[in-house]
Amino acid sequence: MKLDYLILALKNLRHRGIRSWLTLLGIFIGVTAVVSLMSLGAGLQAAVGAQFGISSTQVLQVQAGGINALGAPGSGAVDKLTSDDVEAIGKLSSVEMAIPRIISSGKMEFNDIVAFGMSISVPDGEERKFAYEVMELDIEVGRMLKDGDVNKVMLGYNFWRNGDIYGEAIVPGKSVLIQDEKFVVVGILEKTGSFIVDSTVMMNEAPLRDLMVYGDDVDIVAVKARSEDEMERTKEDIEKLMRKRREVDEGEEDFEVSTPEAMMETVNSILGGVQAFIIIIASISILVGALGIVNTMTTSVLERRKEIGIMKAIGAKNGQVFMQFFFESGMLGFIGGLIGVIFGTLIGVAGIVGINSFLGSELSLGFDFVLIGGALVGSFVIGAVAGIVPAMNAAKQNPVEALRG
Amino acid sequence: MGKEVIRLRNVSKHYPMGDSIVKALNHLEFKVFEGEFVAIMGPSGSGKSTAMNLVGSLDMPTYGTIYLDDEDISEFAESDLAQVRGKRIGFIFQSFNLIPNLTVKENVMLPMMFQGTSVKDRDDRARELLRLVELGDRMDHYPGEISGGQMQRVAIARSLANDPEVILADEPTGNLDSKTGENVMTFLEKLNRQGKTIIMVTHDADLAEKHADVIYWLLDGKLDKVTKRVGKRFVDVTKKKKKEAKSNGRK
């Protein structure tokens, strides 16, 4: 029997004027925002995570000044970390390996075009493998840097495929000028999905120190813990050591040790803030939509008094009249939600395609059937609830007066 | 004469209008028997539509009682009245009163939906009734796509949907030209011959005398006279009826 009212509601909705459909905008916009946000959520998280270089779960990063300092990570600190710090951290029992990383900004010239970018150091020996592992580096064309390479660099993927900056793609064998010194490109790295890494110059540590006059300073210490299960303990050990070395008390640290979880939490808290904001906007939009439905249904009851009278004259009980308007109202909400789900999903798909083409990642849409089902049911319920009062007004119409129209 | 189907006993309907009271009906009494074709006649404002609304359980009398098959429907709750309107009485209105968003067939199916009839049975019955009123080829049209006469025939089919005992027709030819009106009346007569009780409200004396067996003439909310068909003529039986009313009043 309920199906009858649903079908009847749909038949009536088919004949609604544009005014009724405009009232769905609120629900439509709200649901579109929620669905697109949630569909994109997983993709955004992965994309932002990639920018932070969060991949390995066994790697901690130590940097002076905290991760929120301006400029390249660690570079903005007044009291920088040093090679001695790296050595001391490497000796901790919970640490398997600690490598220094220099992240320096400078100018690079190629094809008579000068641009500014970042260079990252790669250590020698055993630590080289760990550095490649931490940054998830692999070669696309040419070869990786090796020990003893001087005046040689590896470039990120964007220098090769997105050759817009220098007018043409830079390929292995070509020479570039970095800080006015000539370097030969030995290889191009595979796309990592991190905009930073894909647009970076990789150079062996010693030549980079010389080039940038870095002395003993280190921007970031990448630390590999002995065990993935003891990340917290490793973090505490490093913090204790660094407090001692930098002579600071607990709670007043001028450095930061970040675990992958902590970094992911930072990403999540940023995304969470954005999501909360969009959800508030979506909620307001849905509330406005619900009020729109109340208004439409109230007008509809007034306009269709005669129809209500006819229904009563041919045997409709009050409850049956109520059900018809209730379902109609619910279906208004449902249709708004359905259009919202379709648009939201399309925006999600477009967003993911955009992120993938920008980052070269292979993210897929977080297609959540529970979310979509929830959005549709929720839209129906919002519409139906909005229609309760108008439907009650319809049900209690006096048949004789209603028939007069 | 069949059994008594409807009986109005000392029925009055008063409406408050600002500070005054409009007495639309005053102490109205009449009976309708099974299979009768009754006309309620009267000029505008005589109370004939009010009488029809009361008989059709669309409205409640201010005073008096209305019996349908010996049941006092003036005591019924709204849901029971809806049941009376849905199952025991079929309405035909002057302005057809079809629902414009539904097709002809869906309009005929609607009263059956309210009675919980299955979709298949509704569909079968609607098709059968529309064929009966010669609209088998217009089932999927919308009311706006058919003529006035056809709309009134759809209304007749709809009034028969739940096979009611009584058909109430309020000025059924009022919005039709004379030829189409005659065609509609032919259908009503046909139904009457098949045993349906017809109560027709009209201001057209010729129409009433052409088709009805009994005519209740209303004036200013009161029963003015009663005429009854005897052969081809109508005979005034008012005195007899008034006597009956008085004796009922004493009872």
A294 pLDDT above the threshold of 80: yes
The whole-angstrom separation of Cα A93 and Cα A75 is: 28
Rounded to an integer, the average pLDDT of A48-61 is: 65
Report chain B residues whose CB lies below 8 A from the CB of A395.
none
Put simply, the answer to whether B85 touches A315 (Cβ < 8 Å) is yes
Does A317 contact B at CB distance below 8 Å?
yes
Beta strand extents in B163-209 (DSSP E only):
166-170, 197-202
Residue A277, pLDDT score? 87
Half-sphere exposure of B34 (CA within 13 A, CB side): 12
Q: Where exactly are the structural domains of chain A?
A: 2-51+264-404, 59-259
Put simply, the answer to whether B83 touches A4 (Cβ < 8 Å) is no
In chain A, the percentage of residues whose pLDDT exceeds 70 is 90
Put simply, the answer to whether B162 touches A12 (Cβ < 8 Å) is no
The confidence band for A105, taking pLDDT boundaries of 50, 70 and 90, is confident
Question: Which of B1, B22, B3 is closest to B165 using CA atoms?
Answer: B3
Residue A37, pLDDT score? 81
Do the beta carbons of residue B188 and residue B200 sit within 8 Å? Answer: yes
A69 pLDDT above the threshold of 50: no
Report chain B residues whose CB lies below 8 A from the CB of A312.
58, 82, 85
The confidence band for B240, taking pLDDT boundaries of 50, 70 and 90, is low
**What's the full length of chain A, in residues?**
405
3-class secondary structure, B232: coil
For residue A231, give both structure tokens.
Answer: 């990340």
ipTM over 0.95: no
- Can you say whether the dihedral through the CA atoms of A136, A138, A144, A146 is positive or negative? positive
Residue A56, pLDDT score? 55
Report chain A residues whose CB lies below 8 A from the CB of B93.
313, 403
For residue A80, give both structure tokens.
Answer: 């920088």
Residue B184 CB neighbours (<10 A):
23
Rounded to an integer, the average pLDDT of A355-374 is: 75
Give the sheet arrangement for strand B37-41, strand by strand.
B89-92, B166-170, B197-202, B37-41, B214-219, B222-230, B233-236
**What's the full length of chain B, in residues?**
251
A319 pLDDT above the threshold of 80: yes
The confidence band for A68, taking pLDDT boundaries of 50, 70 and 90, is very low
Does A328 contact B at CB distance below 8 Å?
no
Domains and CATH numbers, chain B: 4-250 (3.40.50.300)
For residue A157, give both structure tokens.
Answer: 């993927």
Mutation to test the A interface, candidates B84, B89, B114, B201, most A Cβ within 10 Å = B114
Helices vs. strands in chain A: H and E counts, helices first: 15, 13
Rounded to an integer, the average pLDDT of A45-61 is: 65
